[in-house]
Amino acid sequence: MTASSQEKILIVDDELTNIELLAEIFDGQYEVLFANNGSKALEIAQEAHPDIILLDVMMPGIDGFETCARLKAQRSLKDIPVIFITGMGDSEAEVRGLEMGAADYVTKPINPPVVLARVRNLLELKQARDQLQRLATTDGLTGIANRRHFEQVLHMEHENHVRRGGELSLLMMDIDYFKPFNDSYGHLHGDDCLRRVARTIDEVVGGGNNLAARYGGEEFVCILPDTDPASAVALGESVRQAVEALAIPHAHSDVAAVITTSAGVVTSRCYEDRSVLHLLAMADEQLYHAKAAGRNRICASSAQ
């Protein structure tokens, strides 16, 4: 496999000699990032999203096991393959690492050809898996997340918030008077409108653990973990303004001469007795209020 310039390897080890050895193995083939402790590794992973992580087990402070656990607990990082590198030679430690989600295990002293071959194999598997993941989770027309992926992520975020508390916000919106637009301008223009609106929503909302998805037809939804009511409404307003700023002509709208959106926002603390369906119903109710109030606006509710 010829490695692309985009492939990044994060090496995490508290021993400089080990980092230098591993860096020499990958020199010229991959972009190599370094961290000498678990906290720094988590910071770099969040910023750079490496394609694979080589993680030492025995480190001061946050050890490799804890670092791996924290990586796997974050939706944006959990699918990054982790190879544990250790001199422990302990089968129980190896089993523990694999059960925590590590993809492979390499013992010291490091054998360069073995490490390089295992990294190459994992990157090839990751590329194939990522391609399948994109096909399964992406809306074919707009290129953002599809409804199936949205529902999976919403259930996961709801469970996370039930366990640890915090506020979970949901933004539900649709394009105002889209049917007259589609009927008048034609399906090709309608599809292009959906793509442009979806891309705009994703650009404004995307980032971190936020997720923008097409819910169906001209309706879109956004998951905003750990987002308070004021921030959720502000983000929704940014989306509304950004879509209007696209200035897509709409001569058959009763609210503006261009494409606009209406949105409902709900923020809630998740409890075991409050289901995902309840959260969706509340967001849908606020969207209904926004439409009834004249469209091209946001209505919000906070249910604690």
pLDDT in tens, the chain (304 residues): 444 457 999 999 998 998 999 999 998 889 999 999 999 999 999 999 999 999 998 888 899 999 999 998 887 888 899 999 887 666 777 777 788 888 888 888 888 999 999 999 999 998 898 888 888 999 999 999 999 999 999 998 998 888 888 899 999 999 999 999 999 999 999 999 999 999 999 999 987 789 999 999 999 999 999 999 999 999 999 999 999 999 999 999 999 999 999 999 999 887 666 788 989 999 999 999 999 999 999 999 876 5
Token pair in block for residue 276:
């995902």
193 in Cβ contact with 248 (< 8 Å): yes
The confidence score (pLDDT) of residue 1 equals: 42
Contacts of residues 45-49 at CB distance under 8 Å and 24 or more positions apart, as own/partner, are 45/10, 45/71, 45/77, 45/80, 46/74, 46/76, 46/77, 48/8, 48/10, 49/8, 49/76, 49/77, 49/80
Taking residue 293's Cβ as centre, other Cβ atoms within 10 Å add up to 12
Domain with CATH 3.40.50.2300 in the chain: 8-133
Q: How far is the C-alpha of 160 from the C-alpha of 126, rounded, in Å?
A: 26
Q: Which fold has domain 8-133?
A: Rossmann fold (3.40.50)
**Nearest one of 105, 102, 92, 86 to 18, comparing CA atoms:** 86
Question: Is 218 one of the annotated active-site residues of the chain?
Answer: yes
CA distance 201 to 143: 12
Tokens of 161: 């918030």
**Residues forming a β-bridge with 55:** 12, 84
Q: Are 67 and 38 in contact (CB under 8 A)?
A: yes
Q: Are 58 and 86 in contact (CB under 8 A)?
A: yes
Q: Which of 218, 219, 244, 272 is catalytic?
A: 218
CA dihedral over 2, 123, 51, 55, signed as positive or negative:
negative
Beta-carbon contacts of residue 257 (< 8 Å; ≥ 6 apart):
249, 250, 251
Q: What is the pTM of this model?
A: 0.67
CB 223 within 8 A of CB 154: yes
Query: Quick one: pLDDT at residue 2?
Result: 43
Per CATH, domain 147-303 is 3.30.70.270: yes
Q: What gap in Å lies between CA 106 and CA 118, rounded to an integer?
A: 9
Strand order in the sheet with 104-107: 31-35, 8-12, 52-56, 82-86, 104-107
Amino acid identity of residue 216, one-letter, is G
User: 10 Å Cβ neighbour count for 257?
Assistant: 12
* Residue range(s) in the chain whose domain bears CATH number 3.30.70.270: 147-303
